[in-house]
Amino acid sequence: MATTQVIAEFLAREFPQSKCVVEAIGECSSTVSHPIGFDELRPGGTVSGPILMTVADVALYSAVLGELGLVALAVTSNLSINFLRKPSAEKDIVGHCKLVKVGRTLVMGEVMLYSRGDEKPVAHVMGTYALPAKT
Amino acid sequence: MATTQVIAEFLAREFPQSKCVVEAIGECSSTVSHPIGFDELRPGGTVSGPILMTVADVALYSAVLGELGLVALAVTSNLSINFLRKPSAEKDIVGHCKLVKVGRTLVMGEVMLYSRGDEKPVAHVMGTYALPAKT
Amino acid sequence: MATTQVIAEFLAREFPQSKCVVEAIGECSSTVSHPIGFDELRPGGTVSGPILMTVADVALYSAVLGELGLVALAVTSNLSINFLRKPSAEKDIVGHCKLVKVGRTLVMGEVMLYSRGDEKPVAHVMGTYALPAKT
Amino acid sequence: MATTQVIAEFLAREFPQSKCVVEAIGECSSTVSHPIGFDELRPGGTVSGPILMTVADVALYSAVLGELGLVALAVTSNLSINFLRKPSAEKDIVGHCKLVKVGRTLVMGEVMLYSRGDEKPVAHVMGTYALPAKT
């Protein structure tokens, strides 16, 4: 199992434009966050949907890497997001990911997204990663 | 029904950071595109997933605005994306949206995303927008 | 909040063909089960997918009724199921539902499905119910 | 490519309880139907959700079989259904499936469901099938 630091460095190379921070990698799980500022807000003070999806995608990918090692070839095949509440404009977005299936060809996980410190989630995400066929 | 130009100007104000271009608004439909350059690519020459989701979200929202007028209050409640093929690193992403239901409280639509000029889609998106309750 | 027994009787009238059993209704939650026998199995001893979806749908609906009262007018707008593991051919299917959002127009919840007594889930379901506009 | 009749006979053996009828298999496509009677209706004259999901699942599976041959080992990994309109209580449900991706490990397709003869769809389904790893 790769450590939090190894995964954080790997993702920084793979996604150089991303502001996502890998906070922790656990057993079949991860915690990721994203700072919120002008670039992430829409008029009215809402965090843009794609930012939430980005955090979920990185959280899922981090948990996959934590479980399977740095297999950069795993690709997202499905991501489904339910928007639950308006996120705060002044707090980081934090995503907690838990893998619910780690199979030979598919890995599935869910992510709950929060405005940091809030109890109620702002979005729920279910994602599927396809692993390359062994050759 | 709002015209293509009115919606394009509205979205430019609502999403000042976005590079999405509203190309056309039709009956229950829209075409939207996004230029692809360094900011949108990941190592290996793949368009990042969140860019695809952004194009789909703007395509859906544009079609909703085209059908219902500039009701900025419609909010995405669900977005589900299936990634089908690796997009080209050298072509715009183009999204064609078609609304499949326009109800009183929910609007649902699907978006096919393409690398411009290619015949086979790179992703399929299904989205739901919730409309504010009439008061 | 309606009690478990009231909801069980209501569902028995609404879905006379269903074998689903409402086991418990809690705060924003429910537990529902379904016996497994010849009618629910496919060759090879797999529980059919639609049975899993039925259990999830009834679990979600029961939790909605528990929270909002016997509003038979709530309708499913989206149901998304991820199949995780092959269910046992010899155990009931049990669904645990938890509502993650109870809004004025939408209720969203997730359901984990298990073969009774097993620790690992056989499927994960996310569902959305639309509530009728108040008039 | 398996013919319509071969697939219909295969499914009749695999799903002996099902009333689904395979009407046609085409290139990456299928048409499937289901008669509607007492067993499929809920009070108020609505076709039950699980029946719609069943038709979609069989339509997807038929199209997969049509494309890949009788690989009974393909398994549904995700099924996401959006309910669009109330189906008629007096008409068959008809599903038209189109595969949008046929990969080595995943096949994805969409299904539009109609009350026979009606122009507007009653539901939209997106499904993913996982293929067994080659050995």
Kindly state the tokens that stand for B94.
């183009």
Residue-wise pLDDT tens digits, C54-92: 999 999 999 999 999 886 578 899 999 999 999 999 999
Q: Could you tell me the CA-to-CA distances from B18 to A58, B57, B112, C134, D67 in Å, in that order?
A: 21, 12, 20, 36, 40
With CA atoms as reference, the chain C residue closest to A112 would be C100
Q: Is the pLDDT of residue A56 over 90?
A: yes
With CA atoms as reference, the chain A residue closest to C119 would be A100
Please give the Cα distance from C134 to A9 (Å, whole number). Answer: 52
Contact indicator for C54, C64 with CB cutoff of 8 Å: no
Q: Closest partner residue to C108 among A84, A100, A110, by Cβ? A: A84
What pLDDT score was predicted for residue B129?
A: 95
Collapsing DSSP to helix, strand or coil, D24 comes out as: strand
Q: Closest Cα of chain D to C58: distance in Å?
A: 10
Is the backbone of residue D76 left (phi > 0), alpha (psi -120 to 50) or beta?
Answer: beta
Q: Please, what are the domains in chain D?
A: 4-130 (3.10.129.10)
Kindly state whether C134 is in contact with chain B, defined as any CB-CB distance less than 8 angstroms: yes
Contacts of A128 in chain D (CB under 8 A): 77-78, 128
Q: What is the CA radius of gyration of chain C?
A: 14
- Please enumerate in sequence order all residues whose Cβ is within 8 A of that of D44, keeping only pairs 6 or more positions apart, or say none: none
Task: Work out the angle between the directed axes of helices B4-14 and B49-68 (0-180°, nearest 10).
Answer: 130
Residue position matching structure tokens 């998106």: B125
Contact indicator for C34, C92 with CB cutoff of 8 Å: yes
Collapsing DSSP to helix, strand or coil, A4 comes out as: helix
Q: What are phi and psi of A81, to 5 degrees?
A: -120, 135
Q: Closest Cα of chain B to D128: distance in Å?
A: 9
Contacts of D73 in chain A (CB under 8 A): none
Please give the Cα distance from D130 to D111 (Å, whole number). Answer: 17
- Whether residue D106 and residue A134 make contact (CB cut-off 8 A), yes or no, is no
pLDDT above 70 covers a percentage of chain D that reads 95
Residue position matching structure tokens 């609304």: B99
Give the DSSP H or E segment for C39. Answer: none
- Whether residue A78 and residue D134 make contact (CB cut-off 8 A), yes or no, is no
- Whether residue D39 and residue C53 make contact (CB cut-off 8 A), yes or no, is no
DSSP states along B46-106: EEPHHHHHHHHHHHHHHHHHHHH-S-TT-EEEEEEEEE-SPPPSSS-EEEEEEEEEE-SSE
Please give the Cα distance from D21 to D35 (Å, whole number). Answer: 8
What pLDDT score was predicted for residue D73?
A: 76
- Whether residue C128 and residue B80 make contact (CB cut-off 8 A), yes or no, is no
Selected for mutation to probe chain C from B73, B78, B100, B126 (highest C CB count within 10 Å) is B78
Kindly state whether A71 is in contact with chain C, defined as any CB-CB distance less than 8 angstroms: no
Q: Closest partner residue to B17 among A15, A39, A79, by Cβ? A: A39
Residue-wise pLDDT tens digits, B81-99: 999 999 999 999 999 999 9
Contacts of A85 in chain C (CB under 8 A): 101
Q: Which chains touch D (3 or more CB pairs under 8 A)?
A: A, B, C
Kindly state whether D102 is in contact with chain A, defined as any CB-CB distance less than 8 angstroms: no
Q: What is the CA radius of gyration of chain D?
A: 14
Collapsing DSSP to helix, strand or coil, D61 comes out as: helix
CB atoms inside a 10 Å sphere around CB D63: 30
Q: Closest Cα of chain B to C99: distance in Å?
A: 15
Q: Closest partner residue to A100 among C84, C108, C128, by Cβ? A: C84
Please give the Cα distance from C86 to C82 (Å, whole number). Answer: 12
- Whether residue A43 and residue B79 make contact (CB cut-off 8 A), yes or no, is no
- List the beta bridge partners of residue A98: A29, A110
With CA atoms as reference, the chain D residue closest to A131 would be D105
- Whether residue C101 and residue A110 make contact (CB cut-off 8 A), yes or no, is no
Which of the four pLDDT bands, split at 50, 70 and 90, describes residue A135?
A: low
What pLDDT score was predicted for residue C134?
A: 63
What pLDDT score was predicted for residue C50?
A: 86
Kindly state the tokens that stand for A39.
């670039």
Give the DSSP H or E segment for C11. Answer: helix C4-14
What pLDDT score was predicted for residue D55?
A: 95
**ipTM of predicted assembly, 2 dp:** 0.91
Selected for mutation to probe chain B from A10, A34, A53 (highest B CB count within 10 Å) is A53
Is the backbone of residue D39 left (phi > 0), alpha (psi -120 to 50) or beta?
Answer: alpha
Q: Which residues of chain C have pLDDT under 70?
A: 1-2, 71-72, 134-135
What pLDDT score was predicted for residue B44?
A: 74
Please give the Cα distance from A78 to B96 (Å, whole number). Answer: 19
Q: Closest partner residue to C84 among A84, A108, A124, by Cβ? A: A108
* pLDDT digit string (tens) for chain D, length 135 residues: 568 999 999 888 887 778 999 999 999 999 999 999 888 887 777 888 889 999 999 999 999 999 998 865 788 999 999 999 999 999 999 999 999 999 989 999 999 999 999 999 999 999 999 987 765
- Whether residue A57 and residue B50 make contact (CB cut-off 8 A), yes or no, is yes
What pLDDT score was predicted for residue B1?
A: 56
* Selection from A125, A61, A129 nearest residue A93 by Cα: A125
Contacts of B81 in chain A (CB under 8 A): 78-80
* Dihedral sign (CA C59, C61, C64, C65): negative
